[in-house]
Amino acid sequence: MSLDEFPSGPQTDELMKGDRVATPMYEDPALFDVEMERIFGKSWVWVAHESEVPGKGNFVLSWVGTQPVIVSRDRKGEIHVLVNRCRHRAATVCEIKKGKTSSFQCPYHGWGYALNGDLRAIPYSEGYSDDFKKENFGLKKLRVETFEGMVFANFDHDAEPLEDFLGNAKPWIRLFMKQGGGFPVKTLGEHQFKVPMNWKVQLENTTDAYHFPIVHKSFLQSLDGEATETFSFMDDDDGYVEDLGNGHSVMVMMPELIDLDENLDAPIPERFKELAAELAEQGYEDEKVRRIVRAVGGCGFNLNLFPNAGCSLSFFRILRPVSVNETEIRHIALGMDGGPEVANQMRMRLHEHFQGPMGFGSPDDAEVWERVQRGSAGAGDVDVMVNRGLGLEKESQNGLPVGDISAETGMRAAYKQWKKVMDQ
């Protein structure tokens, strides 16, 4: 139906101009519908972390674009992503956010589904003729692949393998997961908030260092001297933003924290000394203490994965498009599975300090994003500029652009992929 609005498809050349994007990118409901079909209907979309479904029978609800899905782990330990919609008359078969079960039963007429989505039981099955085959009416299944504990799903069963799609982002994901400090990474809970904005405003923001000293001035003022130093990346000259291809990009804010397994002999920062002392007292060996303490604040970069996930310093940042001007954001806190309680407590306190509906950072992000949506209602003929750093970029080992820390290289990378997928 939405395609009727664009008889020959949306004119992506007029919407995405390389260094600028046109206002309808944020404002056009018909374009949003096409994005849901062509991007969220055909790309690898982040749906969960494996630690959310740790054991057999565990499930968690999630979304792929505007579609509700269940992420479940069956009795063999295999993860499935199923559309949360009964094949009979469309009711959701699960409304519990997270839990453990042996099956999903539709509350309307009692159709029962296994953890892998297969239709198992129908009440009063004699009402169907012999040519009704249960095997044809399982919950709709998405393709599922995982990488380093992150679960991705794709409606397109012919899509390239997940690892090919992640491509140059893979080594960065491996680096990001080192913040387990020698333990597996697990989720520790999450903040969720809705912002009246188009989803691409968030997509742009994960590799936007330019806004940090402006929007987050009040957060920076709440830090002590040493931590302020850590967040001074706009004034340092060693940070950068790199296009990783396929819409992914990385913004390196603190190059000294790229690899958390390195520099373990460096002096322990003042603000982590108390934690180090406590861990030593608990009997952790010096090397272990150093590894945990170095990992506790997260790594020094934001990795943006097209179209909906960010591995951001110390947490997952997941976006969900709701409508052309509504987007839900999840900030999922991460910790050390089986690691010391005091370290995980510190991680949660650091997360609460910046993230979520009442953090010292996120509400200010939400405010400016809403301002973008409100402002883009005016002067529809004026473009949104993402040209910062153009003409100043270098080339990476991958042959892709690298800009300085505040360059809009990551946004251009995402919009390049946007155009490629929309044109397919």
- Interacting residues toward another protein by CB under 8 A: 97, 188-195, 215, 217-219, 221-222, 328, 333, 341, 344-345, 348-349, 351-353, 356-358, 360, 362-364, 366-368, 370, 374
Based on CB atoms, which residue is closest to another protein, 191 or 416?
191
Based on CB atoms, which residue is closest to another protein, 310 or 401?
310
DSSP labels, 386-418: --TTTTS-EE-TTS-EEEETT-SHHHHHHHHHH
Beta-bridge partner residues of 385:
20
Nearest to 403 by CA among 414, 393, 416: 393
Closest approach, Cβ 356 to another protein, in A, equals 6
Based on CB atoms, which residue is closest to another protein, 246 or 308?
308
Closest approach, Cβ 334 to another protein, in A, equals 10
Return d(Cα 32, Cα 35) in angstroms, integer: 5
Based on CB atoms, which residue is closest to another protein, 119 or 188?
188
Closest approach, Cβ 68 to another protein, in A, equals 13
Based on CB atoms, which residue is closest to another protein, 144 or 329?
329
Token pair of 115 as six digits = 């953890």
Return d(Cα 385, Cα 368) in angstroms, integer: 16
Based on CB atoms, which residue is closest to another protein, 354 or 418?
354
DSSP labels, 245-310: ETTEEEEES-GGGS-TTS-TTSPPPGGGHHHHHHHHHTT--HHHHHHHHHHHT--SEEEEETTTEE
Closest approach, Cβ 283 to another protein, in A, equals 20
CB-based contacts of 250, cutoff 8 Å, min separation 6: 169, 172, 207, 241, 242, 244, 301, 302, 303, 304, 410
Closest approach, Cβ 17 to another protein, in A, equals 29
Which helix or strand (DSSP H or E) is residue 227 part of?
Answer: helix 225-230
Closest approach, Cβ 303 to another protein, in A, equals 22
Closest approach, Cβ 196 to another protein, in A, equals 8
Based on CB atoms, which residue is closest to another protein, 174 or 374?
374
